[in-house]
A and B are shown apart, each in its own frame.
Chain A
Amino acid sequence: MGLIVKTSARAIIPLIGIFGAYVVSHGHLTPGGGFQGGATIAGAGVLFLVAFGLSEMRKHYNKHLYSALEGLGGLVFLGAAMLGIGTAFFYNTLWHNGPILNGKPGTLLSAGFLPIMNLAVGLKVFTGLVSALVAIAMYRRWKS
């Protein structure tokens, strides 16, 4: 891509990333959540891929790391769901008894395991979408 696109991308990618992180972390307070925020951050990854090209992306993208992080996102989600297994699967014990995450409703630390799950889903969606798009972008050649 041209110079203007690259320079704009330099300015915009952090903004998209920060907005995506905001959507993920405020999933229990405002519209949005893990999936929407994760997809937004993945949008920043796509912008990087489009603006700077595949060769630059190859230097910054590690398949094993993204794959492991995607698994980690799922594991954190499952772990949060298992915290209250003494009562039931998905029992929100952090909200009922939990140490920090049971603040006044409407504040950031107020929804038990929901912020944790949103972060996990956001991580999983971001790494999954970026991995999928990079894999498609790297797909051999146009002809066979």
Chain B
Amino acid sequence: MAHNEDDDYEYRIKEGDHIVLKRGDVYKAVQIQRKKKVIFEKQWILLDNVVGHLYGTTFEIASGGTLQPKEDKETGSSTDVKVAGTDNRNIVDDGKSQKLTRDDIETMKEQGLKNEEIIQQLIDNSSTFNNKTGYAQDKYIKKKKKKYENTVTVLKPTCRIIAMMYHGREPGKICHLRYDTLAQMLTLGNIHAGSKVLVFETCAGLVLGAIMERMGGYGSVIQMYPGGGPVRAGVECFGFPAHFHDMLHEFPICRVNALLASTLDTSAKDPTAEEKSLNAAAEQEQIQPEAEQQEGRMETNTGDDDGQDREKLEREKRQEAKAQERKVKLEEKRRKLAAAAALLEGRNADGLVIASQFHPCSVLLGLIKFLSPSRPFVVFSQFKETLIECYTKLKEQGGTVNLMLTDTWLRHYQVLPDRTHPLLLMSGGGGYLLSGTTVATDHSEPAAEEPAPKRQKVKDSEG
């Protein structure tokens, strides 16, 4: 186990890293910052101590929320039990089987007893424990372990973990997109390095992050966004290296019609210029009252003129710098928009992924125009009805094949000797997918030339 530092460098936790905390099946994504407290599973913890340790290390939460790497992993055999009953015919629920009171347990906790020791105390003071069957004893210990567990494992974020985390913690933020459904989307969309992918999502950036991970920094992703700017909180959780962001482009969905209607020059530059002047005007309005206020304050200040002048000068400088900054930002924004527009203009994108709370129909019909022929697209919706409409519209307008409306069922299993069965609870629904492949639309030939069986199907769906 003697490895040198360099060998492990990339597996070590560093300050500023985006990490995922794990306990049992609960995950939480955080960024490591010095002296910053985070709350995880009803406990405040300080992450300072994890820096320098390897990813995958399990830590024990000590007093004050500091973390200590767990010494060795006990395999649960510390609580050895030999005596066990065969059935529960003589076990009566009188509520008195546990001799320890809640106060006793609290004192034990305050004394800083290890969880294993607390659990052993609970077992020793349970009058019925030895009458329980071996399986029931296992279950009892497992349950108590879960309750008194105070360890946390630090993981490197991956699409699997973040998708599971979002689904567990904040399903509403990701339109109830279950992780197996996200997996289907990435595969059906043939997401891979080197392609040019269009994304429209309102899933906090989870779908975008998943796509970026699969592309590994090769190719380009164009995020179409509604409103003022793209939401990318989920992307941050992935902790991608800086160069991944070079592949990421953004384009406001409100400019799609303009882009489709006109050439790159007019669509990319004119609206930006317009926006620039608009923004500048708005900003000036904002500055004005502020400046007036400051002047008002200064009039009351009858101190030395020198100071006033200096202040004034400094203020002007600051304003100038701010204006300059704004200019640079605007220029940057314009440049980005032009770059995204240039990527879209060829209408030769390699894939389209839609997952949003918007009605997918208009989004799909608008954005599918940017795809090359023979490229896959995937649309996610929490509701099947919206996808039925998409399906019908696509069938009417043509230009796609292999249309499929699907959903997946996900069932987890408990696998233990003589106790294997599906888990009692399963997710009710992870949303629906409409997938298909684009084909060249043939304007010269009227639809009447389609072969008989197909034409009938179209008629059916229209009727």
Q: Do A and B bind each other?
A: no
| Chain A interface residues toward B at CB < 8 A | none
| Chain B interface residues toward A at CB < 8 A | none
